[in-house]
């Protein structure tokens, strides 16, 4: 049987009451970190009662408080995007699938419904790159549903987008206002002098293999215990999983590199805890609060290091973040902090397991599964960390970080630790 989704015409959901009309600036972090990248994700719920109507009305109410989200991204000066609070609203799609979630294996990989059918896009006469957020609710014959979201990384980081979606959930559950009042205040973040621009980066298109590997909670806790026993310190799940992946990938690609060749790890670390003296409240701020962390070692060093030693490298890099971030805000860094080579030696990781999308409740409990797909990323090796579908625990790795010749070794090495 062929599984398909029937979509309504895309329409706008404006705020339910009038909102301020103004043009708001974006922060220097927004403009430096994200440019106009869009991010897609899908929440899977096993039960709901007329979710299209409930969520549509909830968006309208939440947009009263988050009125910039109902606006559009504009550029009055080239390279200086800002938000025009026009009150137009977000694009919304109502959709129905001709199958149950069970028919499509709860949307586990490989997807039996193309992701494009579960995600919203604006009408042809609207500029996709100007939109702040779009949403689609798809109902399945079993009574389950999905919420597909596309948001602009220029306006939100992951925590900020999750904050907004939690507010939508609160409106759907009958709250009169969000429990966390939203804060814009992008202009309070310093705008340090920009270092001279170098030549544009060159990109190589790779043929990455897509793999899914699950790391059990027990395995993660075992490494945490080992780290604590050896150092008298604690480490996070992110530290452990990242150390596992970086070490396993280094071994997998060793056959194609020399022992002294460099392998690099890159990830975006949250800096919200470093903005308490700058923002009126960190809790309600939903802009970008990230700063890149990069670590470079020879492949021989990573291959010969223990997991505990690699965890220590990651923790040391995170500790150094405070100094580098403050130096950047004060204009003290003379080089570009986004200067990580985008080649096969670089692994970038993104942790979606604690962002907050798994905690959104529209009235029928939290989602059973939240996922994003990076199948079209072929420039830089990447991995995304997800919570596996309930009731499983641990971390699900969505991998597009090696080509076919290294894929089997990588997965086998990870499974030894899983």
- Domain ranges in the chain are 5-184, 211-417
Cβ–Cβ contacts within 10 Å for residue 183, how many?
17
Q: Annotated catalytic residue: which of 40, 153, 157, 239? A: 153
pLDDT for the residue 341: 79
Strand-pairing partners, residue 30, are none
Helix boundaries (H) for 34-101 = 51-65
Two tokens at 55?
A: 């969520």
pLDDT tier at 247 (50, 70, 90 boundaries)?
very high
Check residue 196 and give its pLDDT.
62
Q: What is the CA radius of gyration of the chain?
A: 22
0.85 surpassed by pTM: yes
pLDDT at 378: 84
Window from 184-198, 259-273, 310-324 with minimum mean pLDDT: 184-198
Tell me the CATH number for domain 211-417: 3.30.559.10
- Reading the block at residue 188, the tokens are 């309070």
- Note if 153 is an active site residue: yes
Has 327 been annotated as catalytic? Answer: no
The candidate with the shortest Cα–Cα distance to 156, out of 365, 378, 396, 357, is 357
CB atoms < 10 A from the CB of 278, how many? 13
Give CA–CA dist 271/290, Å, rounded: 5
Catalytic position from the list 103, 130, 327, 361: 361
Inform me whether the pLDDT recorded for 165 exceeds 70: yes
Rounded to an integer, the average pLDDT of 78-87 is 93
pLDDT of residue 329: 81
In percent, how much of the chain has pLDDT > 70?
A: 95
Q: How confident is the model at residue 204 (pLDDT cuts 50, 70, 90)?
A: confident
- Tell me what pLDDT residue 238 has: 97
Q: Tell me, what's the pLDDT at 252?
A: 97
Do the Cβ atoms of 132 and 45 come closer than 8 Å?
no
For every residue of 176-224, DSSP letters joined together read: SS-SS--B--GGGS--PPPPPP-SPPP-----BPPEEEEE-HHHHHHHH
pLDDT bracket for residue 32 (50, 70, 90): confident
51 contact partners, CB below 8 Å, separation of at least 6: 45, 137, 139, 145, 147, 362, 364
Residue 381, CA atoms < 13 Å, CB-side half-sphere: 24
Average pLDDT across the chain, whole number: 93
Nearest residue to 347 via CA among 306, 308, 384, 301: 384
pLDDT of 199 reads: 64
Q: Which of 236, 297, 247 is nearest to 414 (CA)?
A: 247
Task: Return the CATH number of the domain spanning residue range 5-184.
Answer: 3.30.559.10
Topology match between the domains 5-184 and 211-417: yes
Q: Which strands form 290-298's sheet, in the order they lie side by side? A: 211-215, 395-400, 382-386, 346-351, 262-270, 290-298
Interval 403-413: pLDDT, tens: 999 999 999 99
What confidence score (pLDDT) does residue 302 get? 97
**CA dist 56 to 132, 136, 215, 323, 371, Å?**
16, 9, 36, 44, 21
- The partner residues of 307 in beta bridges, in order of sequence, read none
Pairwise CA distance, residues 67 & 93, whole Å = 20
């Amino acid at each position: 049987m062929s599984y398909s989704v029937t979509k309504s015409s895309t329409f706008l959901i404006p705020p339910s009451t009038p909102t301020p009309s103004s043009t708001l600036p974006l922060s220097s972090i927004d403009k430096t970190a994200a440019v106009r990248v869009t991010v897609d994700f899908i929440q899977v719920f096993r039960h709901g009662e007329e979710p299209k109507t409930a969520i549509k009305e909830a968006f309208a109410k939440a947009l009263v408080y988050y009125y910039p989200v109902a606006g559009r991204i504009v550029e009055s000066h080239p390279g200086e995007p800002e938000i025009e609070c026009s009150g137009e609203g977000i694009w919304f799609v109502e959709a129905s699938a001709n199958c149950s979630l069970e028919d499509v294996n709860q949307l586990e990989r490989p997807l039996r419904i193309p992701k494009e059918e579960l995600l919203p896009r604006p009408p042809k006469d609207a500029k996709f790159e100007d939109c702040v957020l779009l949403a689609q609710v798809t109902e399945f014959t079993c009574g389950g549903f999905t919420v597909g979201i596309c948001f602009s990384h220029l306006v939100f980081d992951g925590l900020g987008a999750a904050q907004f979606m939690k507010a939508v959930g609160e409106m759907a559950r009958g709250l009169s206002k969000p429990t966390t009042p939203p804060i814009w205040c992008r202009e309070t973040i310093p705008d340090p002098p920009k270092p001279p621009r170098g030549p544009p980066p060159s990109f190589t298109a790779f043929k990455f293999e897509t793999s899914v590997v699950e790391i059990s909670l027990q395995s993660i806790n075992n490494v945490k215990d080992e780290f604590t026993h050896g150092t008298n310190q604690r480490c996070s799940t992110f530290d452990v999983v990242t150390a596992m992946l970086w070490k396993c990938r280094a071994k997998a690609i060793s056959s194609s590199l020399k022992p002294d060749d460099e392998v690099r790890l890159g990830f975006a670390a949250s800096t919200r805890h470093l903005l308490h003296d700058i923002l009126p409240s960190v809790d309600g701020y939903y802009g970008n609060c990230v700063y890149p962390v990069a670590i470079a070692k020879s492949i021989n060093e990573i291959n010969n290091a223990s997991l505990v030693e690699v965890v220590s490298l990651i923790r040391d890099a995170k500790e150094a973040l405070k100094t580098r971030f403050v130096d950047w805000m004060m204009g003290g860094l003379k080089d570009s902090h986004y200067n990580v080579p985008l080649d096969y030696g670089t692994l970038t990781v993104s942790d979606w397991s604690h962002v907050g999308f798994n905690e959104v409740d529209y009235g029928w409990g939290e989602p059973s599964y939240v996922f994003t797909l990076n199948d079209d990323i072929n420039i830089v090796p990447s991995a995304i960390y997800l919570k596996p579908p309930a009731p499983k625990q641990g971390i699900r790795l969505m991998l597009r970080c090696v080509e076919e010749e290294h894929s089997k070794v990588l997965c086998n090495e990870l499974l030894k630790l899983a």
